[in-house]
Amino acid sequence: MSDFHPNAKGGFIENTLEGLHFAIERALSAEVSAARTGVLQRLDPRVKVAGFLAMVVSVALAAKLWAIASIFALAVALVAVSSVPIRAVASRTWMGAFVFSGAIALPALFLTPGTPLYGLPITLQGVRTGSFLVMRAETAATLMLVLAYTTPWTHILKALRIFRVPVVFVVILGMTCRYILLMLETAHQMFESRKSRTVNRLTPAENRRLAISSSGVLLHKTLQMSDEVYLAMQARGFRGEVYVLDDFAMQTRDWFALAAFAALAAASILVGR
């Protein structure tokens, strides 16, 4: 039995296994969350896709910070009523969006001309510009995460096709997601197999050689598997269209939710100017 502990500081193989295992768990947790009985999980996927995309557009068009903050508060409320773990949202969305958007917005604090803020080398206009960028990124990321955590991936793809999104885009999006998961699982098996055959701790030079060789093998196996999967799909009649066994049927709550999404998006655009 392996003595690897996910919280223990290990070598290259142990850390790689931990990272791959964590990435696979994150992908599976979204499917588990989408199968729960929350408020959003019971809505028609077409309503959710159209509604959340409209909210993202309203966030991008809003010119007032309080309007974006209001949509962000609504997104957090939807997280609470849809049985989506708030910890997952905080760790996977809020922190990442804050770090990346904050890094982009940081120069604006010093380079934007305007009124100095409390004698600091930053301006009030720069803080405003950076706040808009961070809040837009946080709100849009939260909305998209809620959509992914409350709707099965295949239903999202089918809803996109119903809204006449080009089939090429939908197929590429769907296959990319599947191949990423396949690549993660293949890499996990490779490193787990290597770990079971490793006795002593590897030196830094050996770790680098292992990383390079494993990357090459993983790329070759992924390309070979992609060709085999594509040929198998073609043999079974796949021509690019997305089909699922579940049929979408609008109910009363779906029409009310669609009207609510439309009203909120329109109000956000009008008052946020």
Span 90-147, pLDDT tens digits: 777 788 788 888 888 888 788 778 777 777 788 888 888 888 888 888 888 888 888 8
| Tokens (6 digits) for 65 | 């910070």
When pLDDT is averaged across residues 28-37 and rounded to a whole number, the result is 64
Selection from 229, 197, 224, 222 nearest residue 210 by Cα: 197
Predicted local confidence at residue 36, as pLDDT: 67
Answer yes or no: pTM beyond 0.75. no
CA–CA separation, 202 and 13 (whole Å): 9
pLDDT at 151 over 50: yes
Predicted local confidence at residue 5, as pLDDT: 40
Selection from 40, 73, 264 nearest residue 155 by Cα: 40
Which value, to the nearest 10 degrees, does the dihedral of the CA atoms of residues 83, 89, 92, 95 take?
-170
The sign of the torsion formed by the CA atoms of 75, 49, 169, 175 equals positive
Residue 116: beta bridge partners? 123
The sign of the torsion formed by the CA atoms of 211, 217, 220, 222 equals negative
CA–CA separation, 231 and 223 (whole Å): 12
CA–CA separation, 128 and 109 (whole Å): 8
pLDDT digits (tens, 9 = 90+) for 40-99: 888 888 888 999 999 999 888 888 888 888 889 988 888 888 877 777 777 777 887 888
Of the candidate ranges 9-13, 100-104, 142-146, 175-179, the one whose mean pLDDT is the lowest: 9-13
